[in-house]
Chain A
């Protein structure tokens, strides 16, 4: 990982047309964007990410800001592309079915166990995706994309305080779903509705404000 100050310069170099700088930006930012998108649109995340990068590449010269700004800007773009996909899916008759592994994970009672056992990125994302949408987004943008509460709030169309609360609640929920350290297991909280419609409810409202 390059130090953030270094990445400020990398952003500028990419804006001047430096290919290697842009490659570095891609490699640094794409995982975060893709994971965020996976929580948003599950199996369509890769499509949304590639749409997002097309736009990033095209509009980079008009972007003004540093590395922090770049992260926020690209997350905004990624989110817009995700919303486009969700809108398109809603128009289509065969409404979006959540990705299978998510279905499995959420349907089974040992989601949290697996998250702890494997602690793979996939499992972690699957676990976060079971949160209510606004909490899942707040956690992803803050922890994975690495944005502060204010920037996250701008992207989500909410106040920073609301973002902090959502992230806090999200973490509490996640913690609650982890298996207890002791042998006795906590009552599993079944969430059946929150994840089935990935982040569309809050997203639509936020989108209106953003545009």
Chain B
């Protein structure tokens, strides 16, 4: 390449100007200007598709790594906490497991629970979605565990509001009434409502209390791929218990209609 360059000399300086997009006076100005010319309509033909993709991404729950890590951290913490409490109470009460477990998990509960499923399904993503399709009846006789009151509260709030007054007549709640000070629905509700949920209501007695709520995190369906692969890596970790089977747990899909509670 000798002869062409003789008639079209280009030094570094000219090249730098061309690269910067400055007018250099060189004939290449025109070529590069054409290469950087304003868009044609044809070139922007994909705009609608791009916008659709953007909207779809915007409507998908935020795939932020930080929040999902936070979420799994919360999940772990919960798991631990519930497991500890569960160990303490598992010996006594068998049948209450489901209900207790459900209510045990803290979350942005918007309202006092009328039924178990209502708060569970309304809770945010950190709250396990869980439906209790049958009302678990306490199978065991009351024993005076420190958390007995909490369990009674839990049981009590499982009742529909309009059946609670009647439920208080049940001798089973005698202890609760005594603690609350009065056999009055509102009084008891207030009493129970003032108790910190996450620690006192945690008494579950799942047959396998080790991983009491793993199945409550069936998946993170709102996690698209890409940056969230980490979640997939964490989940097997969570399920390290492996054989924990969701047997005592009804389907993870929560819908209020499937969990009427003890309606009569």
Contact = CB atoms under 8 A, between A and B. Distances in A.
Interface in A29-52: 30-32, 34-35, 46, 49-50
Interface stretch (B3-11, B117-125, B138-146, B181-189): B3-11
Given A120-B34, A172-B10, A189 B57 contact: no
Interface stretch (A4-12, A83-91, A173-181, A195-203): A173-181
A167 interface: yes
A56 B45 CA distance: 17
A70 interface: no
A125 B35 CA distance: 6
Interface string B11-41: 0100100110100001110111111111110
A29 to B, nearest CB: 10
Nearest to B56: A57
Contacts of B5: 172, 175-176
Interface residues of A, number: 56
Contacts of B50: 22, 26, 30, 50, 53-54, 56-57
A61 to B, nearest CB: 6
B63 interface: yes
Nearest to B228: A62
Given A58-B57, A186-B3, A124 B39 contact: no
B62 interface: yes
A113 interface: no
- Is the contact region of chain A dominated by helix, strand, or loop, or is it mixed? helix
Most buried by B among A14, A58, A182: A58
A119 interface: yes
Contacts of B62: 61
A54 B224 CA distance: 13
Contacts of B53: 53-54, 57-58
Contact of A124 (B3, B35, B44): B35
Contacts of B37: 121
Nearest to A169: B15
Contact of A189 (B4, B46, B63, B64): B4
Contact of B47 (A27, A59, A139): A27
Contacts of A187: 3-4
Given A35-B35, A57-B57, A171 B10 contact: yes
Nearest to B36: A144
B172 interface: no
A27 B44 contact: yes
Interface string B46-59: 11011101111110
A63 B121 CA distance: 32
Nearest to A45: B43
Interface string A119-134: 1110111011000000
B64 A143 contact: no
Nearest to B58: A17
Nearest to A34: B43
A78 interface: no
Contacts of A121: 34-35, 37, 40
Given A57-B54, A167-B15, A177 B4 contact: yes
21 contacts: A26-B50, A31-B40, A49-B46, A53-B50, A54-B53, A57-B56, A58-B57, A59-B227, A62-B227, A140-B35, A144-B36, A168-B15, A171-B10, A172-B10, A172-B15, A175-B5, A175-B27, A175-B28, A178-B27, A178-B31, A186-B8
Interface of A: 14, 17, 19, 22-23, 26-27, 30-32, 34-35, 46, 49-50, 53-54, 56-62, 115-116, 119-121, 123-125, 127-128, 139-140, 142-144, 146, 167-168, 171-178, 180-182, 186-187, 189
Given A171-B19, A172-B5, 13 more contacts: A17-B58, A19-B54, A26-B47, A30-B47, A34-B43, A61-B62, A62-B63, A115-B31, A168-B12, A175-B26, A175-B27, A176-B1, A180-B8
